[in-house]
Structure 1
Amino acid sequence: MTIRKIRWGLMTLGAAAALASTSAHAVWTFNQSNVTGLSGTNAGDPSLSLSGVYATNTSGVVTGNWASSALVWYSGNGQGMSSDGSQTPNHALDNTGNTEAVLLNFSASTVLSSIGLGYTSNGTCKNTVTNATQTLANDQSCSSLGSNWTLLQNGSTQVDVSLFRWTGAGTPTGSPTALVGQASTTMAGWELVGNYGDMITDTTNPYNTVNSSGKSSSWWLISAYNSGFKQTSASSTSIATENRGVLDNGGDYFKLYAVAGSKCTSTVDNKGVCGGSSTGKLPEPATLALTSVALVGVAGLRRRKAKLAA
């Protein structure tokens, strides 16, 4: 075997190892009553478990500590909650009476990339003549506001959603379970990744996109938006919160249908971005394996050159 063939063989092996170190895009769907140990669409995807939490509001602004509440599955529309009522649309996740949210726990650090909603209500309509906007009442249609009123996007009600990720070590604080008992106004140990005012009913992957920075965590929180949430502070280790669309702090309603993302198998930088270059964290096993392949290849190539020179 020539040196050139050896070199090409090592390059092929290295490329294969690099591909193996990057997890494929995965989808976790919640159109079932079981919300524990859910599998992704690919072999090797992290498993995912869901739980429900809510915090009380005062004059529409969140003020209370997080408490636990059971998630409820509604046919193909996904997960909802009845902490403040079980009639339509209160059986969805909302910001009326209580601010309701879903806590996601992945078995490995995961980059969340999109969120699927199976139902939306109380979104925002736009007047095509004056460009004014108005929030809908419960299950109200835009046409009920007048002939010049239409939905803002794609024929579906837009709702406001907030996304957080856990940045602390281990399991998020809380008793008796993660987050429970913690103040919703401070969100200690959590980072607000983004507020999204343009989310619509979408059950086809890719869903409503989020987290454009590529941040990763094993714990995520998907909540109805509330102005009482502490915003991400500016620092050398944070990326400005994504604020997209209209944030009206209204009583938006939605059911969580699915999420999509990928397992982080690379380094995580000091801003929490998967695949970043500046980090003090140890590389994951896949990264170590790729490095080992390269070192073994270099050693073999040197031995081959020594034999040929002898």
Structure 2
Amino acid sequence: MKKSKLISQLALATAMSAASLAPQTASALTTWGNGGCVWSGDMAGNLCTIGTGNAKVNVTAYGTTDLAPVQGWETATLMNYSGGFGVKNRGTNDPGEGTNPEHAIDNNGNNGTAGGFITDALLFSFEQSTILRNLTIGWKSGDADISVLRYTGQLPPVLTDKTPSGLLSSGWQLVGQYGNVTTNTNQAINASGGASSWWLVTAYNSAFQNKGWTMGDDYFKLLSVAGDQPPPQSQTPEPASLALVGLAALSLGYARRRRLPR
């Protein structure tokens, strides 16, 4: 075999290997909305399951409360309305909770701390790592200032009894805060394209980052979130393995020819 032909075959095998090891493209944008729920339970700690397989997500509700011993996150009741998901929290200093407009995701009510507000949240627990791209609200009253966080730890997160600021020191990362979101419009989020299996959508809380926005007047119902799920990457895809074997065989053949007497 001529040296130039051998080099061409080596280059082809290397290109095949590189192509098969290249990152796979993400799947098309998927929307998870309140209309596709399978419900489990009807009290605090209940959940809604949307989708199947790798696209499955469980939605649960939380609210910061004034319950002892910690004035932090506790399980709440996930509510479902035509305008989207709402939350009924367990704060005793929130007498209007569960009635209009406090049947929504909101930051009304005093949690007993200086300047503290009871804040509602939705936790999205995906079957696999997901890149959320936008969210849509179907109803609001007053402002609709929204905070979005993603979990960067390895183990499933535990929210119970943690304060809002405590989340940021326990594996949660603030993705962004979005002011006065418009109803029935895709609100772009997560400009950095971060991925996680756990996402938290809350009414604005200045403990995450103080934007100078008012608290206590944010009420909204979350209609849907949308994003994509990059396919799992295998360490050595089969086509790459075959190409690497071919590359090794060609290299060995070339080395043997060089050692043969002429």
Conserved in 2, the CA contact under 8 Å of 1:122 and 1:251? yes
Q: CA deviation at 1:198?
A: 3.9
Aligned match of 2:72 in 55, 62, 65? Answer: 65
- State the secondary structure of the residue aligned to 1:168: coil
- Report the equivalent of 1:90: 102
Q: For residues 15 and 262 of structure 1, what CA distance do their matches in structure 2 show?
A: 22
Structure 1 unpaired stretches of 5+: 58-62, 124-158, 174-178, 232-240, 266-284
Aligned match of 2:204 in 225, 236, 250? Answer: 225
Which sits farther off after the overlay, 292-301 or 108-117?
A: 292-301
Structure 2 unpaired stretches of 5+: 39-46, 90-95, 110-117, 258-262
Q: CA deviation at 1:36?
A: 3.6
Q: CA deviation at 1:33?
A: 4.6
- Report the equivalent of 1:122: 142
2:235 is the alignment partner of 1:288:
yes
Aligned match of 2:228 in 262, 278, 283? Answer: 262
**Which amino acid counterpart does residue 179 of structure 2 have in structure 1?**
G
Conserved in 2, the CA contact under 8 Å of 1:37 and 1:49? yes
Conserved in 2, the CA contact under 8 Å of 1:66 and 1:180? yes
Q: CA deviation at 1:306?
A: 5.9
- Report the equivalent of 2:62: 53
Q: For residues 10 and 119 of structure 1, what CA distance do their matches in structure 2 show?
A: 55
Q: For residues 251 and 164 of structure 2, what CA distance do their matches in structure 1 show?
A: 64
- Report the equivalent of 1:25: 29
2:149 is the alignment partner of 1:170:
no
Q: CA deviation at 1:302?
A: 4.5
**Which amino acid counterpart does residue 147 of structure 2 have in structure 1?**
S
2:208 is the alignment partner of 1:252:
no
2:188 is the alignment partner of 1:184:
no
Residues 286-305 of structure 1, C-alpha deviations (whole Å, 9 max, x = no match): 15134x64353133144357
**Which amino acid counterpart does residue 300 of structure 1 have in structure 2?**
G
Specify whether residues 184 and 19 from structure 1 end up closer, same or farther in structure 2 by C-alpha distance, changes over 3 A only: closer
Q: For residues 183 and 19 of structure 2, what CA distance do their matches in structure 1 show?
A: 39
Conserved in 2, the CA contact under 8 Å of 1:186 and 1:230? no
- Report the equivalent of 2:123: 103
Q: For residues 236 and 77 of structure 2, what CA distance do their matches in structure 1 show?
A: 41
Q: CA deviation at 1:166?
A: 1.7
Q: For residues 29 and 13 of structure 2, what CA distance do their matches in structure 1 show?
A: 28
Q: For residues 191 and 64 of structure 2, what CA distance do their matches in structure 1 show?
A: 27
Q: CA deviation at 1:24?
A: 3.6
Q: CA deviation at 1:87?
A: 2.8
Specify whether residues 111 and 74 from structure 1 end up closer, same or farther in structure 2 by C-alpha distance, changes over 3 A only: same
Q: Is the radius of gyration larger for structure 1 or structure 2?
A: 2
Specify whether residues 120 and 16 from structure 1 end up closer, same or farther in structure 2 by C-alpha distance, changes over 3 A only: farther
Q: For residues 16 and 30 of structure 1, what CA distance do their matches in structure 2 show?
A: 38
Conserved in 1, the CA contact under 8 Å of 2:17 and 2:241? no
- Structure 2 length normalisation: TM-score? 0.71
Conserved in 1, the CA contact under 8 Å of 2:106 and 2:120? yes
Identity of aligned residues (%): 31
Specify whether residues 169 and 262 from structure 1 end up closer, same or farther in structure 2 by C-alpha distance, changes over 3 A only: same
- Report the equivalent of 1:81: 87
Specify whether residues 119 and 14 from structure 1 end up closer, same or farther in structure 2 by C-alpha distance, changes over 3 A only: farther
Conserved in 2, the CA contact under 8 Å of 1:110 and 1:218? yes
- State the secondary structure of the residue aligned to 2:243: helix
Aligned match of 1:39 in 32, 51, 61? Answer: 51
Count matched residues.
224
- State the secondary structure of the residue aligned to 1:299: helix
**Which amino acid counterpart does residue 215 of structure 2 have in structure 1?**
N
**Which amino acid counterpart does residue 299 of structure 1 have in structure 2?**
V
Conserved in 2, the CA contact under 8 Å of 1:117 and 1:254? yes
Aligned match of 2:177 in 189, 195, 202? Answer: 195
